[in-house]
Amino acid sequence: MIERHHASAAAVCAVALAAAAVAAASFSAHRAPDVLVPGAGVTEVRMLSDWFPGLDGTPGDTEVYVLRGAEPGGSMLVLGGTHPNEPAGYVAAALLVEDARVARGALYVVPRANASGFTHNDPQEGAPTGFSFPLPDGSTRTFTYGSRATNPVHQWPDPEVYIHASSGQSLSGNETRNLNRAYPGREDGTLTERVAYGITRLIVGEGIDVTVDLHEASPEYPVVDAMVAHERAMPLASNTVLGLELQGIGMSLEPSPKNLRGLSHRELGDATDTLAVLFESCNPSQGRLRGRTDEALVVEGKDPYYLRAAALGRLYVPFDEGGVPLAERVGRHLASIAELAFSMGMESEDEGLELSGVPGYDEISELGVGAFLSPAPEAGS
């Protein structure tokens, strides 16, 4: 006859297996990539592994959307999703893929720069797995809310200390999975370093003139609503910030620190000829002072604790009852990209990039992101 404690052990095991199965289904569902709908401006869809075959078949390989104009001109690379818990950069890149047109020059867009980071989210953050936008036709489009870092299932274990390969800089061990600490990358490095290397190869291979890395920061972080520029990109970035000010969009301009290594604006500017800049918008859903972290916070950007922090003068951005909606943050990124493209033409006529179809700051703030997204294709079509 079976002993009593074995019977209870079997029952507990069964419950544990059921819990593991439910969790496994949820985690596995997070790995399905979002559907993006390339617009008429997209002339080619390639993979990052086209420039660095070492990424082929890995979770780090990702789509590169090319929008090439009829006339030659300058080239710009836009990186969204370097940190998949900073949704404005990802959504702004997706809108470029779906809406932008290029008359002159070439625009390269990587909406999910760290594709692995989209396959999970951070433990103990209570973040949602995704967020949705209603479209005018009544349908919805859902986007993944991921993690700041590469999935540990794809790159494990983390070292105690992360040493940036080309500089020897030491950082906390989990930064080994942070794409924006891995540039210029290594051909035979970790998955994250190989993704960074692939992006560097793309820039060198295509002779990219300007590289923009789209990010978000918490409202209590000093570098927010800001543009960080490599010293060679400073004249271009200055013109862009002035142009944005004339539109009523306040952006501060920060020089790329020379002793903070591995970041796109530092390493891509040093290792290649590209003019490297990084944009930061304000994301209340990633800050330490936030309250309940749900889809509403991600999309609407309203939080009572940030409201209180603003009243105490603890934030670096204005924050009122209206919050900082995702639509406003996406509009800020898109307006900055459009102004940067305009400024490229001011710097040199040969390097002009003529963009159209990019939703404006005011219209996207008023109409919302969904108004500029295409309906997802029916399954199987």
For other proteins, the binding residues (CB under 8 A) are 5-6, 8-9, 12-13, 15-16, 19-20, 23-24, 27-28, 120, 153, 156-157
Residue type for position 261: R
Cα angle, residue 93 at apex, residues 86 and 361 outer, rounded to 5° = 90
State the nearest-atom distance from the C-beta of 199 to other proteins, in Å: 24
Of the pair 16, 163, the CB lying nearest other proteins is at 16
State the nearest-atom distance from the C-beta of 8 to other proteins, in Å: 5
Contacts of 13 (CB under 8 A, 6+ apart): none
Quick one: CA dihedral 61, 57, 192, 125, positive or negative? positive
Residue type for position 232: R
State the nearest-atom distance from the C-beta of 9 to other proteins, in Å: 5
Token pair of 194 as six digits: 């190989």
Q: Which parts of 230-335 are beta strand (E)?
A: 252-255, 275-282
Please state the φ and ψ torsions of residue 64, each to the nearest 5 degrees: -120, 115
Of the pair 10, 35, the CB lying nearest other proteins is at 10
Of the pair 173, 370, the CB lying nearest other proteins is at 173
Of the pair 27, 316, the CB lying nearest other proteins is at 27
State the nearest-atom distance from the C-beta of 291 to other proteins, in Å: 26
Other Cβ atoms within 10 Å of 187 Cβ, number: 12
Of the pair 19, 35, the CB lying nearest other proteins is at 19
Pairing of strands 63-68, 44-47: antiparallel
Q: What is the DSSP letter of 221?
A: S
Of the pair 145, 221, the CB lying nearest other proteins is at 145
State the nearest-atom distance from the C-beta of 128 to other proteins, in Å: 17
State the nearest-atom distance from the C-beta of 132 to other proteins, in Å: 24
